[in-house]
Structure 1
Amino acid sequence: MAKENTDRTTIDLFADERRPGRPKTNPLTRDEQLRINKRNQLKRDKVRGLKRVELKMNSEAVDALNQLAEARNMSRSELIEEMLLNQLKHLQS
Structure 2
Amino acid sequence: MAKEVSDLTTIDLFSDEKRPGRPKTSPHPRSVQIRINKRNQVKRDKSNGLKRVEFKIHHSIFEQLEELAKTKNISRSELIERLLIDSLTKENN
- Which of the five TM-score ranges fits, normalised by the shorter chain? 0.7 to 0.9
Q: Which runs of 5+ in 1 are unaligned?
A: 8-12
Range that drifts further, 53-62 or 20-29: 20-29
Q: C-alpha distance in 2, partners of 1:75/1:29?
A: 31
Q: C-alpha distance in 2, partners of 1:92/1:38?
A: 36
Partner of 1:68: 68
TM-score (norm 2): 0.76
The yes-or-no answer on 1:55 pairing with 2:55 is: yes
Q: C-alpha distance in 2, partners of 1:78/1:63?
A: 15
Which protein shows a greater Rg?
2
Aligned positions, number: 86
Amino acid at match of 2:79: L
Q: Which runs of 5+ in 2 are unaligned?
A: 1-6
Q: C-alpha distance in 2, partners of 1:48/1:86?
A: 21
RMSD: 2.5
Deviating above 6 A after TM superposition, structure 1's stretches of 4 or more consecutive aligned residues are: none
- Aligned residues: percent identity? 50
TM-score (norm 1): 0.76
